[in-house]
Chain A
Amino acid sequence: MDSLRYKAAIVGASETTELGSIPDKTAFQLHVDASVNAINDCGIDKNEIDGIATTMSPAALAHYLGIVPKWIDNTQVGGTSFLVHVRHAAAAIASGLCETVLVAMAESGRNRVGEQTARIGDVASTPGGRRDSSFPGQFESIYGVAGPTTQFGMGVLRYMKETGLTHEQLASVPVAQRKWANKVPRAMYRDIITIEDVINSRIICYPFHLLECCLVTDGGGALIITSADRAKDFPTKPVYVIGTGESVESPIISQMYDMTTSAAFKTSSKKAFEEAGVTHDDVDHLMVYDAFAHLPIYGLEDLGFVKRGEAGSFIEEGNTSPGGKLPMNTNGGGLSYTHSGMYGMYAIQESVRQVRGEAAHQVDGVKTSFCQGVGGMFMAAGSLVFTNEEPHR
């Protein structure tokens, strides 16, 4: 096995039936809902599924679905976990450990139905102070961090100073993505917005305004992955996995090697490009996990689509908007479509829809899509390259 190029394909893909606010289902139920939808999408007999990858208990999900798998993956590196699961599934299939994998993800991120913990950032007050010996507890929590809104963008002012990125260019990220969401019925927010709207929305954590921060929703998604050879047996258009990558950097944001670039993005995406054997010009469609507005900026640069310092003007000039040369985050992204906490699955789903040619806001002629995920706060990365072009041409 020299590479994972054309070894596996996504044949079934679906999100949860509902998306946004789902007060009547637990996160577990949403996993099942998404899994059943993905199974029905490709019409597979569930007993043919012999591998399960999920961040929840694989036993709980397998047992609920009446499956005794030959292969499991419980990798949990935040919101990019599902991109990593796809990579691991492709490797497992290629090496014969299993034949067909279900990757499932769901969260009750908004209503917290059946979730063990409070919403990220909702830290209970402890009279006399919460005592914490953990690594982030000793060196970050003590300074008043409140989850991703107060940490993820920590390097942005530094990035601005070093590259000249303007506040207006940062604001142009949600503006561009809303143009995509405008034609996506399942997107939570669809109304066109302007840079002024973004700048005038309330400050959550300077330099980030409300419209530069992701949504908080309920939902999930699931995938059925099998060997590329078997993909033609299904009624859906095969979405071949041709490039994959993964990496991790620092467990806490203050200890990134350089806070203006993601070492994990670079490592992961480089591997995926090399494996796929495609160039940046071959990429027709791009997803970059956007928990906050700076992520597509870091992504464009760390993935090598633009040179350092060019991403802000690239987006502001419309290159990633409808009609632009590099359509990006075409579902509206975490900033407009949905974000239940671990967005990576939704990014994959949109790549699959675009490669199949069935997206709500479809880009003409998509053959190859690049999907970039982030886990934690620049803690982890996963990269996938998909195509609808048949192998061995």
Chain B
Amino acid sequence: MSSGYNKPIPVPTPESDVFWEKTKQHELWIQKCLNCNKPFFYPRMNCPNCLSDNLEWFKTTGLGTLYSYMINHRPVPGFEEDAPYAIAIVQLDEGPRMMTNIVGIENTPENLILDMKLKVVFDDVSDEIAIPKWEPV
């Protein structure tokens, strides 16, 4: 747990609590529809493809690729020491995309090559919350 963490902290809701409960265990879980079999993210109570509520949470491989990114040179409060830092989109091997930060590598255009393979890691920002981030494989 980092002391003096000043970045925004997510607060789980009834729809997302499984997601954040699993990240705390350093696992990345998303949902899939048992009716049409499609995985999806963000957490929902109905499938965005067929609206079925016959859903299940499953553990992803934690592997993905770099879909796109920007490198922010004007940090928001809490991110001053990180700038310039990449705000990125990872495409999970299971299909869905999510926003993230890229860790374990200097965030430069030379280092960040689209479609490079990434794996999920977790940043324990408090006793209750671990934020998924991604690093090069």
Contacts and interface: CB of A to CB of B under 8 A. Distances in A.
A204 B83 CA distance: 11
Nearest to B115: A161
Contact of B11 (A123, A128, A137): A137
Interface in B58-84: 67-79, 82, 84
B87 A128 contact: no
A207 B70 contact: yes
Interface of A: 121, 123-133, 135, 137-146, 149-151, 153-158, 161, 202-208, 252, 254-255, 259
B72 A150 contact: yes
A208 B89 contact: no
B76 A137 contact: no
A133 B68 contact: no
A139 B70 contact: no
B57 interface: no
A353 to B, nearest CB: 34
A131 B76 CA distance: 15
A138 B19 CA distance: 11
Main secondary structure of the interface of B (DSSP, over half): loop
A155 B91 CA distance: 13
Contact of B67 (A143, A153, A259): A259
B10 A133 contact: yes
Given A127-B4, A158-B114, 19 more contacts: A123-B76, A125-B6, A126-B8, A128-B5, A135-B42, A137-B10, A138-B11, A139-B10, A140-B99, A145-B72, A154-B70, A155-B89, A205-B70, A206-B70, A206-B71, A206-B109, A207-B70, A255-B42, A259-B68
B75 to A, nearest CB: 7
Nearest to B131: A142
A125 B9 contact: no
B13 A131 contact: no
B95 interface: no
B68 A158 contact: yes
A212 to B, nearest CB: 12
A139 B7 contact: no
A150 B73 CA distance: 9
A133 B128 CA distance: 14
- 3 nearest A-B pairs in the assembled complex, by CB-CB distance: A125-B77, A133-B11, A158-B68
B97 interface: yes
Contacts of B72: 144-146, 149-150, 205
A254 B70 contact: no
A137 B42 CA distance: 13
Contacts of A121: 74, 76
A139 B42 contact: yes
A129 B101 CA distance: 17
Contacts of B69: 154, 157
Nearest to B82: A144
A139 B99 contact: yes
B5 A203 contact: no
23 contacts: A124-B77, A126-B6, A126-B77, A128-B6, A129-B9, A129-B78, A131-B8, A131-B11, A132-B8, A133-B13, A138-B12, A143-B88, A144-B101, A150-B87, A155-B89, A156-B68, A157-B70, A203-B71, A203-B84, A204-B74, A206-B73, A259-B68, A259-B89
A142 B10 CA distance: 7
Contacts of A208: 70
Interface string B23-39: 00000000000000000
A207 to B, nearest CB: 7
A342 to B, nearest CB: 22
Contacts of B68: 154-158, 259
A254 B101 CA distance: 13
B13 A254 contact: no
Nearest to B113: A161
A133 B19 CA distance: 13
Given A206-B109, A254-B89, A146 B75 contact: yes
Contact of B7 (A144, A153, A155, A156): A144
A131 B69 CA distance: 25
Contacts of A123: 76-77
